[in-house]
Structure 1
Amino acid sequence: MFLKQALRPRAEGPRATPGPDAAGPAAPGSGTRRDRPGRVRTAAARTLIAATVLWGLYSLLNVALSGRWWLWLLPDLVPPVCFVAVPVVLLALTGVPARAARRWLVPALVLLLVTGVSRAGLHWGALVPGGGPGPAPAGALKVFSWNTKYWDTADDPDAFYRFLKAQDADVYLLQEYLAWVDDRPAPIDEEARIRREFPGYHLVVLGEQVTLSRFPVVARPPVGQGASIRAGTPWREVFERGKVLRTDVRVRGRVVSLYNVHIPVQLDIGRNWLSRGFYGEMRQRDAARRAHYAALRRDAAGNPNPLLIAGDFNTTPAMGDLDGLRDALDDALPASDTFMPGTWNSEGLGLWRLDWAFTNDALRVHRYAFEDPAGLSDHQAQSLLVSLAR
């Protein structure tokens, strides 16, 4: 517009003298005031377009790279609910730009919203009254899975055991049976007290995992790197290799396989994010995570028993690491009445679901709840009521 005004030829001939009714010179800044709404709409359109393009690029790369490239573990930290929240917020702002910009912004954002629903981890069935599974039959098993956050070493031990016993579960799948000393995991030995607090239970320990069962244990098949663990293996090596504890128990004449899982966390948040060591360790952790996931999938695929896999996976619904398990097994979430499950951080907003439970067709989940840890951990606990399918 300004270029056209600059090139416009001046009128020839004597300049006309303005009459008494002619408008005087425009007040300073009046043109700016008249153009301000248009400028605001232009700036809003540019900002909205940029935000849509950036979010669309992130969403596309998330599908392509999550679970496939170790460096994507950093962008994977975005709360999964953003895959719904961001397009919804941007759609609400599309009324500001001009109509021409809205013609392609709205369809693009709707597409991002639709494709992001599955990665947001929301349980839409919780909004449907009476949409859950049927009532549990008599004799259903109560399973309690929980990352304890360093067992009782950071809390009142008596309160810790009172909390565990109050769950009255048939099976406990517990993680982080350890202490945290000088920024490193350290072993603890509380087997005597565990047996005293849970008389009649069968106790199985592997590194930092503890499985307690009211039903007799008939086998402890090693999974993945756990096959290399021997009686004299140092605890630190057991801690690193034994991230999947499989325990086969006999339940009313049938063998049920219980998998107690704790996949390593992606990052060492104590390191400087700008250091080479931070990224080197992240790459090593990604390799370890892949190995544990692959071993778990292989073992579950070759297991003919009814099985339940639960624990802290340090993996969100938006991450591709879980795809193999989700394709082959059933997430317990349909049996929950929670719309936005966020098991971590229970001490904050709880925007990330890191704790999961899966079953095969031989087990039915009648109830799946996320329990408040009563200030004893930064993870919510998972409580399930399951029965053997006929």
Structure 2
Amino acid sequence: MDRAPHRHRNHNRGQSTTGTAVTILRYMLRALGWGVAGLLIGAFLIGYAAPYLPPAHFWWTNLFAVVLPPLGLVVGLLGFGLLGWGVYRRRWGRVAIVGVLLGLIVVRFAPRLSVGDASAGSAETLRLMTFNVPMVFARQDASARALGRFVRQEAPDVVAFQESWMATGDDPWSGREARFWPPRVFLEDSLGYALPRGHPAQTTICQPVLGQVVLDSMSVHPLPPDGETDKCSQYTRTRFRWQGQPAVLYNVHLHTIGTVRPWKEATEWGSLDRWRAFLQAYRDGALHRAQQARLIRRRINEEVHPVLVAGDFNSTPHQWAYRHVA
């Protein structure tokens, strides 16, 4: 007579144990979900703040800024989900926080409206192209010719090169006659580009500027810390007139991100020493770029005519050096 109640008690005990396990698992999954969401939002906010934080102490935030666009996409999708959940649960405080987060994304990534009436194809619009031409690319005839065809098709008024090693001596192509060095291709009559009328003689310019319009002058200026000895640590300042108005073009090449690069040595990144070397190289590069960006910004502030800045910043638009120059 006592067996049925005994079986009933065992059944209830089993249900209670199962319910407890499900509850614990649910809490664990919820904590994991909120933890992942918190990490993503935290990484996004760190990258978002990178342009506004002094690089001397916050250079590492620029690593997060590199991946800010995909982080913004993920956080935006997550934000819409949290927004709907907050409205459904009437958690208005969380709704407000998510609204601020989505507002930050809109401010940073929303398309910018153009100012003025001139369009890209208008005769009033200055067309400027900029290319970093690495040595491996530049010394291939087919690559140089392909670049020439592309520029002929787009017909920019001014072209700014970086890392092009253009000599300005009596025979600027000495030793390279068999190779179509990109500036050489551009100086051919079929393309119609020319150096500025005034430029340093008997030297090599790493950041040359060529124009179909008349360029008045080009000068070369060193960037710290190696600009006095390393020609690629220099920028050029080109003066010209457009639609009768004087203007200045800065063609810059900021310091490299470092010689240790994870995407080139993926098989060796199980070692902490490799990560330490990468972070040290990245820190040094970030500090050098910041030093160069400050110098360029000071020089720009001293100009009395409108200034254009082109080049290879070794930075994304979300990093400190780029924003400081811009």
**CA 1:253–1:133: 2 relative to 1, 3 Å:** closer
Whether the aligned pair in 1 keeps the contact of 2:250 and 2:309 (CA below 8 Å) is yes
**CA 1:312–1:225: 2 relative to 1, 3 Å:** closer
Whether the aligned pair in 2 keeps the contact of 1:48 and 1:90 (CA below 8 Å) is no
1:170 pairs, out of 131, 142, 157, with 157
Q: Distance in 1 between matches of 2:134 and 2:190?
A: 20
Q: Distance in 1 between matches of 2:36 and 2:61?
A: 20
**CA 1:27–1:298: 2 relative to 1, 3 Å:** same
Whether the aligned pair in 1 keeps the contact of 2:159 and 2:211 (CA below 8 Å) is yes
The DSSP-based 3-state class of the residue aligned with 1:49 is helix
TM superposition shift of 1:101: 11
Q: Distance in 1 between matches of 2:143 and 2:42?
A: 48
In the alignment, what sits opposite 2:36?
51
In the alignment, what sits opposite 1:42?
27
**CA 1:35–1:318: 2 relative to 1, 3 Å:** farther
Whether the aligned pair in 1 keeps the contact of 2:152 and 2:191 (CA below 8 Å) is no
Q: Are 1:88 and 2:74 matched, yes or no?
A: no
In the alignment, what sits opposite 1:196?
188
In the alignment, what sits opposite 1:145?
130
Q: Distance in 1 between matches of 2:92 and 2:244?
A: 64
In the alignment, what sits opposite 2:251?
260
Per the normalisation by structure 1, the TM-score is 0.59
**CA 1:148–1:135: 2 relative to 1, 3 Å:** same
Residue type of the alignment partner of 1:48: G
Residue type of the alignment partner of 2:160: L
Q: Are 1:208 and 2:206 matched, yes or no?
A: yes
**CA 1:94–1:111: 2 relative to 1, 3 Å:** closer
The 5 A counterparts of 1:360-379 are none
Whether the aligned pair in 2 keeps the contact of 1:152 and 1:160 (CA below 8 Å) is no
**CA 1:178–1:293: 2 relative to 1, 3 Å:** same
In the alignment, what sits opposite 1:376?
none
Instruction: State, as a whole percentage, how many aligned pairs show the same letter.
Output: 21
Q: Are 1:114 and 2:99 matched, yes or no?
A: no
Q: CA RMSD in A?
A: 4.2
Q: Distance in 2 between matches of 1:47 and 1:291?
A: 41
Q: Distance in 2 between matches of 1:201 and 1:278?
A: 41
Deviations along 1:203-226, one digit per CA (max 9) or x if unpaired, are 269643231112222232444539
Bigger shift: residues 296-305 or 147-156 = 147-156
**CA 1:323–1:163: 2 relative to 1, 3 Å:** closer
Deviations along 1:28-87, one digit per CA (max 9) or x if unpaired, are 964465556644542332123213433444345442647443344433332434134224
Q: Distance in 2 between matches of 1:286 and 1:220?
A: 28
1:247 pairs, out of 229, 238, 250, with 238
Whether the aligned pair in 2 keeps the contact of 1:67 and 1:319 (CA below 8 Å) is no
TM superposition shift of 1:133: 4.7
Q: Are 1:324 and 2:324 matched, yes or no?
A: yes
Whether the aligned pair in 2 keeps the contact of 1:41 and 1:96 (CA below 8 Å) is no
The DSSP-based 3-state class of the residue aligned with 1:220 is strand
Residue type of the alignment partner of 2:297: R
Whether the aligned pair in 2 keeps the contact of 1:223 and 1:296 (CA below 8 Å) is no
The DSSP-based 3-state class of the residue aligned with 1:258 is strand
TM superposition shift of 1:261: 2.4
TM superposition shift of 1:303: 0.8
In the alignment, what sits opposite 2:143?
156
In the alignment, what sits opposite 1:358?
none
In the alignment, what sits opposite 1:312?
312
**CA 1:94–1:36: 2 relative to 1, 3 Å:** farther
**CA 1:32–1:311: 2 relative to 1, 3 Å:** farther
Q: Distance in 1 between matches of 2:85 and 2:3?
A: 41
TM superposition shift of 1:162: 1.4
User: Per residue, is there more helix in 1 or in 2?
Assistant: 2
How many residue pairs get matched? 289
The DSSP-based 3-state class of the residue aligned with 2:298 is helix
In the alignment, what sits opposite 2:231?
238
User: Per residue, is there more strand in 1 or in 2?
Assistant: 1
**CA 1:277–1:24: 2 relative to 1, 3 Å:** closer
The DSSP-based 3-state class of the residue aligned with 1:255 is strand
- Structure 1 gaps, min length 5: 1-15, 180-187, 327-390
Per the normalisation by structure 2, the TM-score is 0.69
